[in-house]
């Protein structure tokens, strides 16, 4: 009796569905067909017959020792393949399709995960938002997030150098004669920059991003910064070379800009299609979905860190001592046309302050002597403050004037002392790059240098020449915070002398010493270099 009711329900369902689906075969394909299936306690064979009546598809059931489950199913407006899938799921079967289009059903459970529904593409609204950079440089953060580049520590130096070059070229025009300006039309020295029109782009942005498959729609020449890796140009404009300018108007002017960007490039979140920086306000301007902009804000906070500051003091301590001794005799014998003696000032140095002249008959003698001791202590202590991992340079130049004596002898043998003016440049320089380690020690790359003038040297003829000293050291050292260490030192011990004598007469005993000249100089110079780095706290830095 149960079998009869099932057959009757199946026959009624088949007859009803066949009448509703019959006109559709002539107008639609199987893929476009939609069917209604209502099965209650039906066998798999009966269900396949129903689907064949509704869709025209063919089925083959593999024999199995395991019985198929009876089917209870209700579908409305389902695609034929979806109807087959759900019939198999209800019967505990699986299906496949051969090359002839016949569906082969076999025992075994099918993956019950329903097919992923296809929803219509809905455009997610995009926002344009400014992200303010509090402690860092927006250009550095832009390079890190978009291009994965290490910030250039020399960016500020390069900008100052280029700015200085531009200002010097504009403020120091060539000087012409007044006659050249007669009847000449003067033109203004400053010329306006050429204007660049914005290209026509989509209605969403006038300075949009060029995505794959789209035409170029950027403002030409808004290049990036010409750093060590070269600038990034705008549309059609290549970036500069190493350390060179960016493309177009951005070259040299350090204009804001950005190249081709696509979400997922570098650290840019998916959903961001436009990012550029505004150095005037230290902001990043981004366009994208709300979720993507929130992710970008988190990235900016990750990179936006205030670098610590270090104050470095380097002391050059120079101590010197010297002893200079000199004793000499000048002789001149004159009789008629015969002259015998030494050149004036060669034995008795004209610059020696103590002298004794003696003349009798045809003989003239002069004795000059010097005993001089000198000592000194010079401390040069340049000090500079810089950021962590940022190079710093401090220098001081002084042009000092010293007076020296130049000895001139005339034809009569008379010695004349003429004062000379000498200008010597004294410079003190310090170049340093500190790196703060995790244990608050400081690794420093140091190159201090000092220049000075030393003692005034006197030649045998009395002429004076000053010493010019330059001392520097290049070193890498690790120092504790606030600790003073000696980087290096130079000790110079000099002991020199000269002995000059008359031939034969200078070798005679007792009286031979009056025909000799002797000088001796001893110099001892010690240079010690000390360095003291101090990590500045936030209170000391004004943060």
**For residue 337, what is the enclosing H or E element?**
none
Residue 281 has what pLDDT?
Answer: 92
Cα–Cα distance list, 467 to 37, 375, 406, 422, 454 (Å): 111, 15, 16, 12, 5
What are all long-range contacts of 44-48, with beta carbons under 8 Å and residues at least 24 apart?
44/68, 44/71, 44/87, 44/91, 44/93, 44/105, 46/6, 46/7, 46/10, 47/71, 47/73, 47/87, 47/91, 48/87, 48/105
Task: Read off the pLDDT of residues 90-113 as tens digits, 9 standing for 90 and up.
Answer: 888 888 888 888 888 888 766 555
Share the mean pLDDT of the chain.
73
Residue 489 has what pLDDT?
Answer: 76
Contact between residue 493 and residue 466 where contact means Cβ atoms under 8 Å apart: no
Residue 300, classified by CB atoms within 10 Å of its CB into exposed (0-12), middle (13-18) or buried (19+), is buried
Residue 83 CA to its chain's centroid (Å): 64
Task: Read off the pLDDT of residues 137-147 as tens digits, 9 standing for 90 and up.
Answer: 898 899 888 88
Mean pLDDT of 455-480: 77
**For residue 303, what is the enclosing H or E element?**
helix 290-303
**For residue 313, what is the enclosing H or E element?**
strand 309-335
Could you tell me the pLDDT band of residue 286, with boundaries at 50, 70 and 90?
A: very high
Q: Coil, strand or helix: which one is 297?
A: helix
Q: Where are the domains of the chain?
A: 2-107, 311-326+371-541
Biggest CA–CA distance in the chain, Å, is: 172
Number of other residues whose CB lies within 10 A of the CB of residue 170: 10
506-510-516-517 Cα dihedral, nearest 10 degrees: 160
Domain 2-107 architecture: 3-Layer(bab) Sandwich (3.55)
Q: How far apart are CA 36 and CA 40, in angstroms?
A: 13
Report the alpha-carbon angle 260-263-269, nearest 5.
Answer: 135
Residue 401 has what pLDDT?
Answer: 79
Task: Read off the pLDDT of residues 159-188 as tens digits, 9 standing for 90 and up.
Answer: 888 888 888 887 765 544 444 444 444 343
What does the block give as tokens for 180?
A: 């050249």
Mean pLDDT of 67-79: 87
190 — phi, psi (to 5°)?
-90, 125
Contact between residue 502 and residue 342 where contact means Cβ atoms under 8 Å apart: yes
Pairing of strands 272-278, 127-132: unpaired
Nearest alpha carbon to residue 221 among 207, 211, 205: 207
Per the DSSP assignment, residues forming a β-bridge with 95 are 105
Task: Read off the pLDDT of residues 474-509 as tens digits, 9 standing for 90 and up.
Answer: 889 899 999 998 877 778 787 877 777 778 777 888
What does the block give as tokens for 151?
A: 């910030």
Q: How far apart are CA 53 and CA 31, in angstroms?
A: 16
Mean pLDDT of 42-59: 87
Q: Is the pLDDT of residue 284 over 90?
A: yes
Q: String of b and e for 364-384 (b: at least 16 CB within 10 Å)?
A: bbbbbbbeeeeeeeeebebeb
Could you tell me the pLDDT band of residue 541, with boundaries at 50, 70 and 90?
A: low
Number of other residues whose CB lies within 10 A of the CB of residue 525: 19
Tell me the percentage of the chain whose pLDDT exceeds 90: 9
Residue 300 has what pLDDT?
Answer: 92
Contact between residue 352 and residue 324 where contact means Cβ atoms under 8 Å apart: no
Per the DSSP assignment, residues forming a β-bridge with 520 are 325, 497
What does the block give as tokens for 164?
A: 């200085």
410 — phi, psi (to 5°)?
-90, -175
Residue 195 has what pLDDT?
Answer: 39
Could you tell me the pLDDT band of residue 261, with boundaries at 50, 70 and 90?
A: low
Q: How far apart are CA 214 and CA 208, in angstroms?
A: 11
Q: How far apart are CA 243 and CA 76, in angstroms?
A: 69
Q: Coil, strand or helix: which one is 143?
A: helix
Q: Is the pLDDT of residue 321 over 90?
A: no
Task: Read off the pLDDT of residues 188-247 as tens digits, 9 standing for 90 and up.
Answer: 333 443 434 434 433 444 344 343 333 333 333 333 433 433 444 433 333 433 333 333
Q: Which of 21-35, 223-237, 291-305, 438-452 has the highest mean pLDDT?
A: 291-305
Q: Is the pLDDT of residue 131 over 90?
A: yes
* Chain position carrying tokens 């001796």: 520
Residue 283 has what pLDDT?
Answer: 94
Q: How far apart are CA 120 and CA 302, in angstroms?
A: 37
- Higher-pLDDT residue of 256 and 40 is 40
């Amino acid at each position: 009796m149960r079998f009869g009711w099932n057959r009757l329900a199946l026959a009624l369902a088949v007859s009803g569905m066949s009448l509703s689906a019959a006109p559709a075969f002539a107008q639609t394909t199987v893929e476009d067909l939609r069917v209604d299936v209502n099965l209650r306690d039906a066998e798999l064979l009966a269900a396949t017959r129903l689907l064949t009546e509704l869709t025209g598809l063919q089925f083959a059931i593999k024999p199995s020792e395991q019985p198929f489950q009876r089917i209870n199913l209700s579908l409305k407006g389902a695609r034929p393949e979806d109807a087959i899938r759900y019939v198999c799921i209800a019967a505990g079967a699986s299906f496949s399709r051969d090359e002839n289009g016949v569906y082969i059903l076999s025992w075994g459970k099918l993956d019950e995960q329903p097919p992923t529904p296809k929803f219509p593409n809905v455009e997610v609204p995009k926002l344009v938002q400014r992200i303010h950079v509090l402690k860092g440089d927006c250009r550095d953060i832009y390079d890190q997030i978009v291009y994965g580049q290490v910030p250039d520590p020399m960016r500020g130096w390069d900008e100052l150098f280029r700015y200085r070059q531009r200002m010097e070229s504009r403020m120091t025009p060539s000087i012409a004669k007044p006659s050249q300006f007669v009847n000449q039309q003067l033109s203004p020295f400053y010329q306006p920059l050429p204007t660049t029109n914005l290209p026509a782009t989509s209605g969403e942005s006038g300075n949009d991003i060029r995505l794959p498959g789209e035409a170029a729609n950027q403002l030409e020449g808004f290049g990036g910064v010409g750093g060590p890796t070269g600038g990034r140009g705008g549309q059609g404009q290549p970036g500069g070379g190493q350390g060179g300018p960016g493309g177009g108007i951005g070259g040299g002017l350090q204009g804001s800009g950005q190249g081709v960007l696509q979400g997922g490039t570098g650290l840019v979140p998916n959903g961001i299609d436009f990012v550029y920086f505004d150095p005037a306000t230290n902001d990043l301007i981004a366009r994208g979905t709300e979720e993507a902009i929130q992710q970008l804000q988190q990235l900016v906070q990750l990179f936006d860190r205030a670098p610590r500051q270090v104050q470095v003091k380097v002391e050059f301590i120079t101590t010197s001592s010297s002893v200079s001794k000199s004793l000499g005799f000048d002789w001149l014998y004159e009789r008629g046309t015969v002259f015998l003696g030494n050149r004036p000032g060669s034995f008795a140095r004209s610059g020696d302050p103590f002298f004794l002249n003696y003349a009798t008959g045809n003989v003239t003698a002069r004795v000059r002597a010097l005993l001089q001791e000198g000592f000194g202590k010079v401390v040069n202590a340049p000090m500079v403050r810089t950021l962590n991992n940022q190079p710093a340079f401090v220098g001081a130049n002084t042009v000092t004037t010293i007076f020296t004596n130049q000895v001139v002898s005339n034809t009569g043998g008379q010695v004349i002392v003429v004062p000379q003016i000498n200008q010597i440049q004294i410079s003190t320089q310090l170049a340093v790059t500190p790196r703060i380690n995790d244990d608050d020690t400081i690794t420093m790359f140091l190159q201090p240098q000092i220049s000075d003038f030393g003692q005034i040297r006197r030649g045998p003829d009395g002429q004076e020449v000053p010493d010019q000293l330059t001392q520097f050291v290049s070193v890498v050292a690790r120092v504790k915070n606030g600790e003073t260490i000696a980087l290096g030192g130079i000790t110079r011990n000099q002991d020199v002398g000269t002995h000059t004598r008359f031939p034969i007469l200078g070798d005679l005993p007792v009286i031979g010493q009056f025909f000799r000249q002797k000088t001796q100089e001893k110099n001892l110079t010690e240079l010690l270099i000390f360095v003291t780095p101090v990590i500045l706290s936030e209170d000391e830095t004004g943060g």
